[in-house]
Structure 1
Amino acid sequence: MPASNVGDNQVQNGLMRSKSSSDRIYAQIREFGFSLAIFLLIALILGGGGIRHGLTNLFVQLGGLALLLLWPDKIGQFLSKAPKGLIVLVAATVLLPVMQLVPLPPEVWKALPGREMALESRALVHAENDWFPLTLDRGRTITALFALAGPLAVIVTYRFGSKKASHAGLGILAGLAILQLAYGVLQLAVGGDALLLYETNSEGRFYGFFVGHIASGLFLVIGLCALIGLYEVSNKSTVRTTLFIAFSILLVIGVILTNSRSAVALLCLPGLWALIIAVRRVMALPSRKRWVSLGAALFALVGAGMLMATNNRLDQTWERFEDFEDSRPDIWADTVVGIERYWPVGSGMGTFDEVFQVEESLEALITKKAARAHNEYLEILLEAGIFGVALVIAWLLYLLYAIICGLRTVQAPVTLAAALAGSCIALQALLYFPLRNMAELCVAGLLVALLTAPLTTKRDRKIA
């Protein structure tokens, strides 16, 4: 065969493979839902500002409501295809702030624990005999209720029972993380606050679309988990493997640039999974290629180590590990006092910032307001009391059951990726408040859907 024909055939085969790959990606996103994918993009760009940026949060919430209202058939599909346990938990999560907003007779709300100051202030305006809800701040609780619109829309509109949708979910999470990485790099390259979307506490950190460096780091770690899971479910070739490794290294560097100690520590979870995959892949190679791969890996590790040791921006993160003293323990101690005051009914979802100022001790006062408990679990305890405890435990048990079931199916890589990402959120919640951020709240909703997906596909229940 002439050389020119061979070259033409190779080019044609390459184009066919490229077209086939793009068609496959398009089919997966179509199965996932273009509207849902666009909504997640909007949530990332507009939802990273926290409670102080209500207008941008409102756009995300309205987008979630639009998903539910414009495609009402999705609600019917959710009620028919989703596991009953998930439906009950979603309903209970929405009902919690709703019940806290129901007006109560004066004899009832006066008897609730921790309402002494509320009674005194209402008596000053002669309203002590009016009906008031359980929450001590209706506006904050209404805001907390509307914040559920985003994750609710993600869970309800997700296409359960579709393997393509699960793979697309991982791809979208990884793609959003890479977009966050690219925007953060652009911010650092331009310098100053020209491209910062929100006011920040410190310059030179990697923020991307988020107001805080901790949230930024967590999002990149979640994206790394999704990227590794996407690699596991994809057709593995040398080119794809190289690209996945390159993007993974970039995401790791991005996490370090955020200067978030907790996010850097969380890298151990996807890092351990990546190491297991790498060892398994290398051991499957012929002896000669195995040594070449090990040599290349060692060279890459040494190069990465030299970069991290000599780069000034990366060095700032390592320096932060030398000082673990901060105000969190004092905030936690004062939060516990508040929990005891309002136990067992809580003060109302979203009311932490209002009620904590009464509990904050003079010895622990800092320059800025605490605003948050810096521990998601303690904050839920204060705001929702025993009802919040029951809800958190129920969610954890359900997700643990979903993980165990999912790991026994052909969707195991998707389950493992979502489980690791969810574990990152759960661990970060010990020191931060990831679920008080609209962008990461919507991501949490997607992770719940990905973990639930194997429960809705009977033919994939067990690996043959």
Structure 2
Amino acid sequence: MLSSAATLFRRKSGPSAGRHSRIFWILGAYLAFAFLIGGGSRSDIVSLLFLRPVAALIFTLGCWSLTRDALCARPVFLGIVVAILALTILHLVPLPPQLWQSLPGRGIVISIDHATGAGDIWRPLTMTPDEGWNAFYSMFVPLAALVLGLQLSPGQLSRYLPMFIVIGIVSGLVGLGQILGGDYSPLYFYHLANRGLASGIFANRNHGAVYLATMFPMLAVFAAGQPEHGRHARTIRLLAVGIGALMIPFLLVTGSRGGLFAGIVGLASVPFLYRPVRSTGKQVSRRRSTMVYAAVGGGALALVALTAFMSRAVALQRLLNQDNKSEVRFKVWGPILDMTRDYMPFGSGLGSFVKIFQVNEPDVLLKPTYLNHAHNEILEVLLTLGIPGALLLIVGLGAFAVAAYRAFRTPVSTSQARFARLGAVITLLIGIGSLGDYPLRTPSMVCLLMIALLWLGGGRADSKMARN
């Protein structure tokens, strides 16, 4: 059965153009499927039982058809991905008892083993093996998108933009329905969700808000791709402006402060992405573009004021609220940083945050609920993955900075240049969201990141691939 399915991908099954066309449609269907059922990150979400096996199958078949040209097109990006996968696997490999017991922070487990007479046991580096394996299985979701996307040209990858815009519209409308339907609205698709607030097709309102923030740069690139006097160009631009106007109140009612900040950055990126071209191929004058930006900015401020006046701007209300007694995440960052020192240099292990925090949680922070993540990915990486994870994070951020610098240094006169900038902005917005939450642990959001990074690296793609 696997062999039969692989014939859809294999290079020998037909001409290169036909093979790439099949991969394009398969990846598109997979991305839609991921957004349909992959809006939550909890390990007990039932829909993941369907998404992850599909992702593993697509990843396997995608690897079957990978070519040397596709692998060599983005060596730095692939090198970082391989390093992350290798570190994940290393955290799951059982270690000799003497070596494992010498690792910092393992004293409580050693004491339990001695008290129960368990003896010497080979254990993996992570202190929570079950959650470590869960993290490993979750990696198939972005890897499936990656191995297929690597085989597509920059032009083919850019054709996914309208789909992402439609997904954002749907999520915003679902969020509106959630607000109108109240806490028990059937539009909350996940058992544990931010009920009473607009989370859209996501379980977490912050993740939904970050996605809405990415809509502004996406709409700018979509509108900029239409020639000034092209057929239906004016209608498409007006449609883009209208959709962007809808996103502002949709974003405000999520109640996400991080999403609000990401939205401001997303709006600020529009002048760097929207460079409309005339039918002759020349860019529209700066004066006219400035007038467009001023009009859009004024309209955005008016919508913010109107939403606040109607008392639905929950994000603004939370931002201006000086009472932070209910805000736990800022209070736990200090204790998490203190815990990190106890588990250096290798960390407490992949997926171990919940249990490690519960063991070391200060008495003043004890509550009936539990903290599922650090709500700051830098801190969680330091605690669970230690120095190796920190080094990978630094290398990844450095590679992103170099690629983003190249993207914005290149004149935005071609579709490929615009999409490279778009990929940089989307990655930045997701990074902003990761400073106060964990959007990249949501399957659908990490798939978006894979496409964004492929857009960002489009300018480095192999010329042979670009012609396909």
- TM-score range with shorter-chain normalisation? 0.7 to 0.9
Aligned to 1:231: 223
Aligned to 1:307: 306
Aligned 8 A contact 2:197 2:255 in 1: yes
Q: 1:91 to 1:119 in 2, by over 3 A?
A: same
Q: 1:128 to 1:341 in 2, by over 3 A?
A: farther
Aligned 8 A contact 1:331 1:370 in 2: no
Moved more, 443-452 or 356-365: 443-452
User: Equivalent residues in 2 for 1:35-434 (5 A)?
Assistant: 35-76=26-67, 80-160=71-151, 162-191=153-182, 192-200=184-192, 202-236=194-228, 237-275=233-271, 284=284, 300=299, 304-305=303-304, 307-314=306-313, 316-323=314-321, 325=324, 326-407=327-408, 408=410, 410=414, 411-434=416-439
Task: After TM superposition, give the deviation of residue 396 of structure 1 in Å.
Answer: 1.2
CA deviations 1:318-340 (Å, max 9, x no partner) are: 22112252222321112112211
Task: After TM superposition, give the deviation of residue 300 of structure 1 in Å.
Answer: 4.1
Aligned to 2:12: none
CA deviations 1:10-35 (Å, max 9, x no partner) are: xxxxxxxxxxxxxxxxx9x9487111
CA deviations 1:204-238 (Å, max 9, x no partner) are: 31111111111110111123322222222333421
Q: 1:352 to 1:78 in 2, by over 3 A?
A: farther
- TM-score between the two structures when normalised by the length of structure 2: 0.83
CA deviations 1:149-208 (Å, max 9, x no partner) are: 011111111045623223113333222212212322333344432221123565431111
Q: 1:161 to 1:37 in 2, by over 3 A?
A: closer
CA deviations 1:28-67 (Å, max 9, x no partner) are: x948711111211121121122224343223222221121
How many equivalent residue pairs?
432
Secondary structure, counterpart of 1:176 in structure 2:
helix
The residue identity in structure 2 corresponding to 1:55 is V
CA deviations 1:118-137 (Å, max 9, x no partner) are: 11112233333121111111
Q: 1:50 to 1:222 in 2, by over 3 A?
A: same
The residue identity in structure 2 corresponding to 1:402 is A
| Percent identical | 22
Higher helix share: 1
Aligned 8 A contact 2:212 2:263 in 1: no
Q: 1:137 to 1:423 in 2, by over 3 A?
A: same
Aligned 8 A contact 1:344 1:386 in 2: yes
Moved more, 252-261 or 290-299: 290-299
Q: d(CA) in 2 for partners of 1:298 and 1:222? A: 17
Secondary structure, counterpart of 1:95 in structure 2:
helix
Secondary structure, counterpart of 1:368 in structure 2:
coil
Q: 1:448 to 1:276 in 2, by over 3 A?
A: closer
User: Equivalent residues in 2 for 1:417-456 (5 A)?
Assistant: 417-456=422-461
Q: d(CA) in 2 for partners of 1:399 and 1:47? A: 26
Task: After TM superposition, give the deviation of residue 347 of structure 1 in Å.
Answer: 1.2
Q: d(CA) in 1 for partners of 2:445 and 2:239? A: 26
Q: d(CA) in 2 for partners of 1:423 and 1:293? A: 24
Task: After TM superposition, give the deviation of residue 245 of structure 1 in Å.
Answer: 0.3
Q: d(CA) in 1 for partners of 2:298 and 2:127? A: 59
Moved more, 75-84 or 372-381: 75-84
Secondary structure, counterpart of 2:312 in structure 1:
helix
Q: 1:275 to 1:284 in 2, by over 3 A?
A: same
* RMSD, matched Cα: 3.1
Secondary structure, counterpart of 2:320 in structure 1:
coil
Secondary structure, counterpart of 1:312 in structure 2:
coil
Q: d(CA) in 1 for partners of 2:150 and 2:289? A: 41
The residue identity in structure 1 corresponding to 2:210 is L
Q: d(CA) in 2 for partners of 1:280 and 1:80? A: 33
The residue identity in structure 1 corresponding to 2:373 is R
Secondary structure, counterpart of 1:321 in structure 2:
helix
Q: 1:437 to 1:73 in 2, by over 3 A?
A: same
- TM-score between the two structures when normalised by the length of structure 1: 0.84
Secondary structure, counterpart of 1:197 in structure 2:
coil
Aligned 8 A contact 1:226 1:418 in 2: no
Q: d(CA) in 2 for partners of 1:208 and 1:85? A: 35
Q: d(CA) in 2 for partners of 1:292 and 1:80? A: 44
Secondary structure, counterpart of 1:240 in structure 2:
helix
The residue identity in structure 1 corresponding to 2:187 is L
Secondary structure, counterpart of 2:418 in structure 1:
helix
Aligned 8 A contact 1:339 1:382 in 2: yes
Structure 2 unpaired stretches of 5+: 1-17, 278-282
